Amino acid sequence: MENNNPHLYEEEEDNEDLLTLSLSTGPRPQPPSLPPPPPPLDQQQQTLFLQQFLTIPQAPPPPPSPPSFHNYDHAAVSQEITITHSRPPRSRRNPFQAPRPGRTETVPPPFPWATTQRATVQTLDYLLSQNMTKISGEVHCRRCDKVFNIEYDLKTKFTEIASFISNNKFAMHDRAPSDWMNPNLPSCEFCGSCLKPVVTKKRSINWLFLLLGKMLGCCKLSELKYFCKHSKNHRTGAKDRLLYLTYVGLCKQLDPNGPFDV
């Protein structure tokens, strides 16, 4: 039985036309493929890549200066420039001044253990060789108004003071401790008041007696400056500084080879 449906014939004709068109044109071309992406750069390559484009060109370095015999030429130049624009430097006063007119460095020894030099005592070896084992001095009681004579054993007292300085020198920081600033003075046997050393003129101070009795703190500031002046030490500063220099200076005179360098 034949199918006389006109729509069926139209669909068959359309299908035949499409088949003919596809055979004549061939297969549809595929779209061109993109090239594969480049491999990722590592951290170092990225840094070099950025530096090539971001680095600012710099001026070439200056030529090297000629060799110098000193390492402080630049410091010397800057110092010269500073000095040129400032007032000339003032010369520092010499702390080791010569004695005033009419005075000499030598005086008659005020005590057997003193030398002819001002504020200077004999060495410990010399004193022991001369059988000077006891050092005496005068003290005064203000309440009783009496003067007493006290003596100390030279070797025993000096060893005690020298050991203290040797063990505590760095801890003192060039300053006298409170025991030196406020000495423990002997007491009067009659009234119990403190006995203070007798000091008349500076050139007649019994330095060795004051050292052994730890009574150098009773000296005035001017008297400590007197000692520092004639022992070739700076005499500027507070009293604890000058008192420290006096203690160490006297120990240096007694034992020149001991640990008493200032």
Dump strand ranges (E) for 119-227. 134-141, 146-153, 196-197
Residue 72 covered by a domain: no
Residue 96 covered by a domain: no
Q: What is the pTM of this model?
A: 0.62
Residue 243 covered by a domain: yes
Residue 57 covered by a domain: no
Residue span of the structural domain in which 220 resides: 124-136+156-185+201-254
pLDDT of amino acid 233: 80
pLDDT of amino acid 84: 37
pLDDT of amino acid 73: 37
Residue 230 covered by a domain: yes
* End-to-end alpha carbon distance in the chain: 142
CA distance 5 to 8: 6
Residue 116 covered by a domain: no
Residue 235 covered by a domain: yes
Q: What is the mean pLDDT of the chain?
A: 77
Lowest-pLDDT range, 1-5, 111-115, 254-258?
1-5
pLDDT digits (tens, 9 = 90+) for 181-236: 999 999 999 999 999 999 989 999 999 999 999 999 999 999 999 999 998 887 77
CA-angle at 213, arms to 200 and 258, nearest 5°: 110
* Residue 70 pLDDT grade (very low, low, confident, very high; cuts 50, 70, 90): very low
CA distance 261 to 45: 65
Domain count, the chain: 1
